[in-house]
Amino acid sequence: MYFRNDRAGFEAILTRIRQISKENSFADVIVGMEPTGRYWKALANYLMKQESIHVVLVNPYHTKKAKELDDNSQTKLDKKDALTIARLVKDGRYSEVYLPHDVYADLRVLTIAQNSVNQKTPLKIRSSL
């Protein structure tokens, strides 16, 4: 299933998750994703706010290596990657998501901005010695 990276797309995937959960009598759902790029964060934030959905992360390096073990091929296909990620999640090979909220999210943004400014303008340290 393909969906847009916006609220309408997230609602569409959530509807599909709920439908599959109901059809299979799942009480809880684990959604596994690779933290590549920046696009995963918005979906993770959205899903983490939903009841009975637990979001976890699978290391992209683990996905690559597990996929190579499965079929001895390095080909990159979305369906193949999704199946590999699902297997890694099933086997418990994932990590918990940490996305700061509220003031902690603001603090992270400010720290990143400060580091960016500091890298462009070297600090001059005065010494009284």
pLDDT of 35-73, one tens digit each? 988 889 999 999 999 999 999 999 999 988 888 787 766
| Mean pLDDT, residues 2-25 | 95
Q: What pLDDT does 126 receive?
A: 58
Give the separation between CA 51 and CA 69, rounded to whole angstroms: 35
Is 35 among the domain residues?
Answer: yes
Q: What pLDDT does 124 receive?
A: 57
* pLDDT of 29 over the 80 cut: yes
Q: What pLDDT does 122 receive?
A: 58
Is 55 among the domain residues?
Answer: yes
- Mean pLDDT of the chain, nearest integer: 86
Is 43 among the domain residues?
Answer: yes
Is 117 among the domain residues?
Answer: no
Is 61 among the domain residues?
Answer: yes
Range of the domain at 64: 7-99
Q: How confident is the model at residue 121 (pLDDT cuts 50, 70, 90)?
A: low
Is 32 among the domain residues?
Answer: yes
Number of domains in the chain: 1
